[in-house]
Amino acid sequence: MSDTLNVTYSGRFGHLLGLSLKTLVLTILTLGIYRFWMKARMRRYYWASIQPGGVPMEYHGTGIEKLLGFLVAAVFLAIYLLILNIILSFVGLAFFQGNPIATSISFLAVMPLIFFARYRARRYILSRTRWRGLRFGVEPVAIEYMWRAIGHTILTVITLGLLYPRQQFKLEKFVTDRTWYGNVRLTQNGSWMLLFRPWMVVLGSFVLLVAGVLQAALTGNPDNLVFVPVLLPVLLIAFAYYGVASFRVLTQHKQAGHFVGFSSTIRTGRVVRIYLLGSLALLGVMFAALLALLGIGIVFFASLGIDASTMGNLMEQPLNGPAGMAGFGFSIFAYFFLMLVIGAFAEVFFVQPLLRHYAEELQILNAGELDLASQRPHDAAVEAEGFADALDVGAAI
């Protein structure tokens, strides 16, 4: 093995688009049940496309693992939320429908589970990931991670976001220091202060935006809002800059074993360009999809003897009438058609280009030590990503 490994990405537009369309169709036809298998198949494609030193990554997670984990998590969450609502009713908060205090308490009660779910999802994903035949793994300490995440989040809120880089670094260090490649342990070195300067760019942009809005509100002069359309994109670019800078810093200060290091040269301009060009391309595809729907609708309703000029009023017709039923059925078809198109093309316009850039700008330094790594025990991780799926959060693709 060479001392320095470059990472390549072999994914292709057509292959990914075909796979994405096929799995999305199956997900729709099964009323969402196939989405667990869809995610497993998409990960296998992405993992195999990422090739450190020319050797592809492997993903061995299955749809049935994810489905069973989701069902267990859903039952747990149902019981948990039921008990929470009983407690809220007991203290009288539930008598005030829409009361913001009750809503806030419900959200805060779920927050710990979100941290818990993210850690367990990352543990499951890495336990099903291999490279050169060796498993990755993460130690099963999700509850400890949850309590640490709660504490760091409270500190971030108290400081009005000033210490968010500290929260991000400390939590990333907690997870990285408990991550293994075979019997080789990873560690996160460095300091959270390395993230502070790029975070100031975000805070500065946010302060300018808020100051502009407050000035317009206090002076009653809406003309002062003219800067908002300019400052909002600046804030979004600032977030992209911080995301790139923090990833680069954290990557460059990671270590595997005694000598193996990492280097990343991802660029903010490239990431912003991917999002911008991807958005324009997706808008073009959506416009074409809408034109296709219009043509399909005209042909469909004409075949039923319905005047195309009345298509806009079809949903106002009673459902027990032929026009109303036709309008309702076509609306359902249009919804799933657009969901299919947007979902499939988002993968090829956003996810794959970003993965390609992040992968191809990564290097593994002093990689010879990895030749000595040996296999680690299998981690059952029977709960899979159940809580992450039930709470609609994730730790990776």
pLDDT digits (tens, 9 = 90+) for 106-131: 667 778 888 999 999 999 999 999 99
How much is the pLDDT for 1? 46
Element (H, E) at 9: strand 5-9
Instruction: Determine the 3-state secondary structure of 189 from DSSP.
Output: coil
Q: Look up residue 270 and give its two tokens.
A: 């490239």
Q: Exposed, middle or buried: residue 293 (CB in 10 Å: 0-12, 13-18, 19+)?
A: middle
Please write the tens of the pLDDT for every residue from 188-228. Answer: 999 999 999 999 999 999 988 888 777 777 776 666 667 77
Extended beta strands in 122-257, E state? 129-131, 134-138, 179-181, 184-188, 254-256
Distance of CA 72 to the CA centre of its chain: 22
Please write the tens of the pLDDT for every residue from 24-53. Answer: 889 888 888 899 999 999 999 999 999 999
At 334, is the pLDDT very low, low, confident or very high (cuts 50, 70, 90)? Answer: confident
How much is the pLDDT for 111? 82
Please write the tens of the pLDDT for every residue from 48-91. Answer: 999 999 999 999 999 999 988 888 888 888 887 777 767 766 66
Please write the tens of the pLDDT for every residue from 175-190. Answer: 999 999 999 999 999 9
Model pTM score: 0.87
List the one residue out of 192, 185, 179 whose CA is nearest residue 152: 192
pLDDT at 242 over 70: yes
